[in-house]
Amino acid sequence: MIFINNQFLRNIDHTRVKQFYPHRLQYSSQAQITNLKKDILELLNSRTADQYLGSHHKPTTTHNQKVDDENLRIWHLDARFTLEKTFDNYRELCNRSSSYDYRIPFQGEYLEKFPEKKLEETDIAETDYVFIEINESGKIWNFSHVDVPSMEKCEGCYKYALLKFPCACAKVDLF
């Protein structure tokens, strides 16, 4: 598992982070994606998270709020991409961004599209990587994918949300 949040991407952008920090996880192949997400949330919000993840690699939300179901997404990296290649791609995309609202097209599958699916049905191999994306309150999601509605900033109130009406520039996705 690799944990990603906006702060981690800013650290990539500013070259404070030079690689991904994968964490091994052993989990039942018969468990559903929803159970995996529930247990990841429990781990992230536990007092022992620092022991497992290391305090300097522990992803957080704004002001160290608890991570909840609404600000965590689970992704499966396409096996054709190595961690090094993916990291270099993310670093390049972050460096080209003119703001900290990173928009990174994820090369893989959004696992929560079918939350009742068992892990064995997702075709995750032992050598594959699962990315855990944590959204900071009031920010956009960093990963984009056709299977997931995107959040955009409203030009009226300047908050990030799924917009139900198009903005003037017509660049906002509608769902």
Instruction: Identify the pLDDT of residue 49.
Output: 78
DSSP 73: E
Instruction: Name the nearest CA neighbour of 99 among 2, 1, 9.
Output: 9
CB 9 within 8 A of CB 94: yes
Instruction: Identify the pLDDT of residue 57.
Output: 54
Where do the structural domains in the chain lie, given as residue ranges?
2-161
Instruction: Identify the pLDDT of residue 150.
Output: 66
Residues of the chain falling short of pLDDT 70? 54-64, 150-156, 158-175
What phi and psi, each to the nearest 5 degrees, are found at residue 148? -130, 130
Place of tokens 């990315």: 131
